């Protein structure tokens, strides 16, 4: 799914109005109807107080139009207009008149108004600001927003939590609504997926308001959201007359005394993600550990307790390197020397990245499209400190462009970055914040490249599979007990899950939905 910027959404609006020959007010009516249906299906007329806080722009207009639908279906509503500006959007005014025609009089709030009473059992609809927010809200609006957050009532945000910008991190986080649920029109917003701003979005869902499909399809975006349908197109089925040679040979390089587990996990993950052969290149101290714990894997050794040279006479398809490798002088030199002569595709993790951070001139030896999988600290060593999430994205983009590398920013929503574009993953969970989880990811990606996926496909698909496997494992382990081995063991189910059809909405449910619109 594409993630549009605010400018692109306004462009999509314009294209839709022209193409479908409808007015902007009709588009607003679609948005309000969709939100009403969403609420009505869940609330079934429940006598819960619904407080609708509406701004004076189109986000506010959406809220006012929703209030009308709720009123007409007998819901107990209170409508507030937050007068943060003297301006009024046209569609807001049209809908305000329609509400007044039905004898509903909103409470107008300004800097002198008392804060309204809200019980924690009530529902708040947040339609104060939408994607048009362009400056920090005034203090009194911030106070109102904090008051709504403190009420403990369930907050349903219209399009985007009020106070969140679409393209930067707010200066004052008290001015942002903490939404329990966001109903976002047509496309999710980038800020839903970044650590500093994503915390304001507990859950989100996209409502289809019928924006022009041709525009949506053609418009190029800076970010894409990656879910099952996006990765399915990469999947390479196995053919009957194939053999293990068809699926490549992954070489996993790393390990040092006390850190053989890291390479063991990567090697096993490469095997379990489908690499035909896997060889692990480790210091001697790891030989028995590897051979005993993963008998399917071949082992080459060098150095006693850490790698001293990286030099092999096998012909692997791809090399995954760095896990548990250490950053000792000899190992660092071995890596640099290896990079100077290497022509194979590379996945670099952990200490390989730490060594490169200290010798940035060696980055020039990386083949194009090498994959770097840093965790936040490793990323900081590579690109320097960042001011906030947007600054981080900017720096990653510049780094990836300069060195022509694919960078995987690991996090709750891992982002794979290449050629100025970010691919945001949707699988995974906090249980995966555990030792060895990253080593496993490197193994999965290396294993996918071995069997013929392009580096970009392997990066995006690998991140997805790794997260999915963690999600499936979670069902058995819970968050605390999920360990990296569970992620490896769940990989098979993650592949199988690709072909599970999502539950279909029954015809009756569809009928009920239509009935509710009437």
Ligand X SMILES: NC(=O)C1=CN([C@@H]2O[C@H](COP(=O)(O)OP(=O)(O)OC[C@H]3O[C@@H](n4cnc5c(N)ncnc54)[C@H](OP(=O)(O)O)[C@@H]3O)[C@@H](O)[C@H]2O)[C@H](O)CC1
**Taking Cα atoms as reference points, which of 183, 152, 142, 153 lies closest to residue 59?**
183
Residue nearest to K ion (CB): 162
Pick between residue 27 and residue 231 the one whose CB is nearest to ligand X.
27
Give the 3-state secondary structure of 77-138. EEEEEECCCCCCCHHHHHHHHHHHHCCCCCEEECCCCCCCCCCCCCEEEEECCCCCCCCCCC
Residue 62, interface with ligand X (CB under 6 A)?
A: yes
Q: Of residues 75, 80, 129, 390, which one binds ligand X by CB under 6 A?
A: 129
Is 269 known as a binding-site position?
A: no
Residue 92 tokens read as: 């807001």
Q: Of residues 67, 158, 458, 474, which one binds K ion by CB under 5 A?
A: 158
Is 375 known as a binding-site position?
A: yes
- Residue 30 CB, nearest distance to ligand X (Å)? 7
Q: Of residues 35, 145, 158, 474, which one binds ligand X by CB under 6 A?
A: 158
Strand order in 277-282's β-sheet?
2-3, 223-226, 421-425, 415-418, 406-409, 371-372, 346-348, 318-323, 249-254, 277-282, 298-301
**Taking Cα atoms as reference points, which of 280, 358, 362, 274 lies closest to residue 323?**
280
Asked if 124 contacts 153 with a C-beta cutoff of 8 angstroms, the reply is yes
Question: What is the CB neighbour count within 10 angstroms for residue 310?
Answer: 24
- Residue 386 CB, nearest distance to K ion (Å)? 27
Residue 350, interface with K ion (CB under 5 A)?
A: no
Site string for ligand X, 24-53 (x = CB under 6 A): ---xx--x----------------------
Residue 135, interface with ligand X (CB under 6 A)?
A: yes
CA 450, CA 246: separation in Å to the nearest integer?
9
CA 232, CA 225: separation in Å to the nearest integer?
14
Residue 132, interface with ligand X (CB under 6 A)?
A: yes
Number of residues this chain uses to bind ligand X (CB under 6 A): 31
CA distances from 284 to 197, 315, 320, 339, 466 (A): 47, 21, 19, 22, 29
The window from 56-64, 199-207, 456-464, 500-508 that contacts ligand X (CB under 6 A) reads 56-64
Residue 399, interface with ligand X (CB under 6 A)?
A: no
- Residue 211 CB, nearest distance to ligand X (Å)? 6
Pick between residue 163 and residue 438 the one whose CB is nearest to ligand X.
163
Query: 208-237: which residues touch ligand X (CB under 6 A)?
Result: 211
Is 459 known as a binding-site position?
A: no
Q: Of residues 137, 198, 276, 322, which one binds ligand X by CB under 6 A?
A: 137
- Residue 225 CB, nearest distance to ligand X (Å)? 16
Residue 84, interface with ligand X (CB under 6 A)?
A: yes
Pick between residue 158 and residue 277 the one whose CB is nearest to K ion.
158
CA 296, CA 289: separation in Å to the nearest integer?
13
The window from 157-165, 281-289, 319-327, 344-352 that contacts K ion (CB under 5 A) reads 157-165
- H-helix or E-strand spanning residue 187: none
Q: Of residues 9, 157, 169, 260, which one binds ligand X by CB under 6 A?
A: 9
**Residues near 319 by beta carbon (within 8 Å), at least 6 away in sequence:** 250, 251, 252, 253, 342, 344, 345, 346, 347, 446
- Residue 325 CB, nearest distance to K ion (Å)? 48
The conformation of residue 270, written as its DSSP 8-state character, comes to H
CA 146, CA 149: separation in Å to the nearest integer?
5
Q: Which does 29 bind (CB under 5 to 8 A by kind): ligand X, K ion, none?
A: none
Is 324 known as a binding-site position?
A: yes
In total, the chain counts a number of residues equal to 518
| DSSP, residue by residue, 41-85 | HHHTT---EEEEEE-SSHHHHHHHHHHHHHHHTT-EEEEEEE-SS
**Taking Cα atoms as reference points, which of 388, 383, 375 lies closest to residue 356?**
383
Residue 162, interface with K ion (CB under 5 A)?
A: yes
Residue ranges of the binding site: 58-62, 126, 130-136, 159, 162, 262, 324, 375, 410-414, 438-439
Residues that bind K ion (CB under 5 A): 126, 157-158, 162
Residue ranges of the binding site for (6S)-NADPHX: 58-62, 130-136, 159, 262, 324, 375, 439
Residue ranges of the binding site for K(+): 59, 126, 162
Residues that bind ligand X (CB under 6 A): 9, 12-13, 27-28, 31, 55, 57-62, 84-85, 87, 89, 129-137, 158-159, 185-186, 211
């Amino acid at each position: 799914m594409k993630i549009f910027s605010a400018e692109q959404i306004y462009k999509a609006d314009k294209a839709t109005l022209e193409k479908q020959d409808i007015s902007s007010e009709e588009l607003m009516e679609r948005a309000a109807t969709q939100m009403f249906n969403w609420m009505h299906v869940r609330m079934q007329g429940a006598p819960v107080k619904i407080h609708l806080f509406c701004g004076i722009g189109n986000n506010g207009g959406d809220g006012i139009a929703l209030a009308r639908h709720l009123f007409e279906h007998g819901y107990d509503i209170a409508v507030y207009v937050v007068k943060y500006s003297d301006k009024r959007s046209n569609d807001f005014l049209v809908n305000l008149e329609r509400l007044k025609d039905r004898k509903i009089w909103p409470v107008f709030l300004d800097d002198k108004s008392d804060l309204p009473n809200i019980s924690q059992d009530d529902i708040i609809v947040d339609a104060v600001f939408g994607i048009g927010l362009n400056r920090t809200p005034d203090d009194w609006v911030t106070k109102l927003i904090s008051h709504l957050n403190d009420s403990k009532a369930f907050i349903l945000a219209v399009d985007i939590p009020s106070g969140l910008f679409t393209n930067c991190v707010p200066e004052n986080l008290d001015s942002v609504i903490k939404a329990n649920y966001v109903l976002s029109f047509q496309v999710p917003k980038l800020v839903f997926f970044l650590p500093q701003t994503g915390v304001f979005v507990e859950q989100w869902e996209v409502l289809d308001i019928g924006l022009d499909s041709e525009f949506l399809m053609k418009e190029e975006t800076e970010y894409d959201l990656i879910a099952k349908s996006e990765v399915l197109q990469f999947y390479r089925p196995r053919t009957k007359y194939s053999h293990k040679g068809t699926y490549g040979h992954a070489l996993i390089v790393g390990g040092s005394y006390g850190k053989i587990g890291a390479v063991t996990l990567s090697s096993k993950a490469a095997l379990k993600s489908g690499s035909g052969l896997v060889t692990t290149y480790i210091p001697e101290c790891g030989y028995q550990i590897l051979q005993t714990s993963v008998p399917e894997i071949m082992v080459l050794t060098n150095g006693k307790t850490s790698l001293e040279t990286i030099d092999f006479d096998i012909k692997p398809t791809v090399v995954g390197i760095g896990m548990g490798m250490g950053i000792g002088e000899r190992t660092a030199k071995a890596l640099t020397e290896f990079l100077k002569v290497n022509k194979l595709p590379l996945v670099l993790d952990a200490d390989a990245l730490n060594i490169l951070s200290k010798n940035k001139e060696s980055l020039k030896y990386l083949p194009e499209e090498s994959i770097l999988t840093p965790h936040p600290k490793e990323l900081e060593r590579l690109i320097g400190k960042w001011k906030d999430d947007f600054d981080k994205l900017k720096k990653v983009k510049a780094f990836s462009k300069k060195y022509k590398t694919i960078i995987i920013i690991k996090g709750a929503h891992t982002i794979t970055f290449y050629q100025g574009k970010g691919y945001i993953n949707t699988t995974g969970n906090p249980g995966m914040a555990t030792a060895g989880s990253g080593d496993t990811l490197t193994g999965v990606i290396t294993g996918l490249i071995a069997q013929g996926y392009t580096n970009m496909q392997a990066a995006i698909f690998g991140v997805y599979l790794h997260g999915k496997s963690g999600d499936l494992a979670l069902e058995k382990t819970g968050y605390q007990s999920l360990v990296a081995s569970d992620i490896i063991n769940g990989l098979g189910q993650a592949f199988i899950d690709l072909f599970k059809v999502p539950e279909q909405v029954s015809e009756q449910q569809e009928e009920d939905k239509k009935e509710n619109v009437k």
